[in-house]
Amino acid sequence: MLSKIPFDLERIEKEDLEKQILRIAIIAELDAINLYEQLASLTEDENLKVIFLDIAKEEKTHVGEFLTMLLKKDEEQEEELAAGEEEIEELLEEQEEE
């Protein structure tokens, strides 16, 4: 259910360490979101469901925070994220035309 994060700090170049740490943090937050949303879907207790979904929402904010920092530290990531967004927009436009 949770991601196994394979990393060996000694093998990561010093200039890449912070970027890798941020990616690991994003993975951990995504795992937490998945966990809390799955738990919310399993419970029949509406109060518990609300709590799990609220915590999952907070984790989504954390993803945004870590991603923002990653984009500040990794120019290539920022460029590729923008390229991915453009590709999606093109695909959606093509889909609408069909």
88 or 98, which is more confident? 88
Neighbours of 67 (CB within 10 A): 17
Residue 31: name the closest of 1, 10, 54, 5 by CA: 1
Kindly tell me if the per-residue pLDDT of 9 is higher than 80.
Answer: no
pTM as predicted: 0.84
Of 35 and 1, more confident: 35
Rounded distance between C-alpha atoms, residue 42 and residue 31, angstroms: 17
**4: pLDDT confidence band, cut at 50, 70 and 90?**
confident
Nearest of 98, 93, 33, 91 to residue 63 by alpha carbon? 33
What pLDDT, in 10s, does the model give residues 15-64?
888 999 999 999 999 999 999 999 999 999 999 999 999 999 999 999 99
